[in-house]
Amino acid sequence: MLHQASKRNAAAIRAGRVDLRLGSVESLPVFDAPFDKILSVNSLMFLTRPDLVLEQLRRLLRAGGRIAVAQQPRGPRASDATAAAMGEEIAAALGRAGFIDVRIETLRLKPAVVCAIGANPSRWKNVMVRQ
């Protein structure tokens, strides 16, 4: 995936607009600046502590930054119903990790692809939540 993404984004990489790195989400390096957006596709199921990882990802986002976690169930029992259940589980995990305005989008493939999208609260909202 890194090789393919590097080829597709070669001009943006040369211009300094894109920085691609290979690594584990469970052992992220320190970055110079917060991210605007984070995308995860078919990877949450591989994490041993997804709630903790989602909290760490939220801390990497700028205030108001967005995360999108997409999942398409696979296997003999995969169905639109299992996709919907996954979407609800992911949305709940985002909420537990401190994301706000969480919503679920569904792409009608077979089986469906679900994507839970959440926002990192602004500092003002963080202060208000704590009161």
pLDDT tens-digit series, residues 24-46: 888 887 888 899 999 999 998 88
**Whether the model pTM is above 0.95:** no
Quick: pLDDT tens for 1-18.
899 999 999 999 999 998
| Helix runs in the chain, H state only | 2-8, 10-14, 50-60, 80-96, 123-130
Q: Is the dihedral angle over the CA atoms 7, 13, 18, 20 positive or is it negative?
A: positive
Tell me how crowded residue 115 is: count the other CB atoms within 10 A of its CB.
Answer: 20
Does the pLDDT value for residue 92 go beyond 70? yes
Class for domain 25-130, per CATH?
A: alpha beta
Domain boundaries, the chain: 25-130
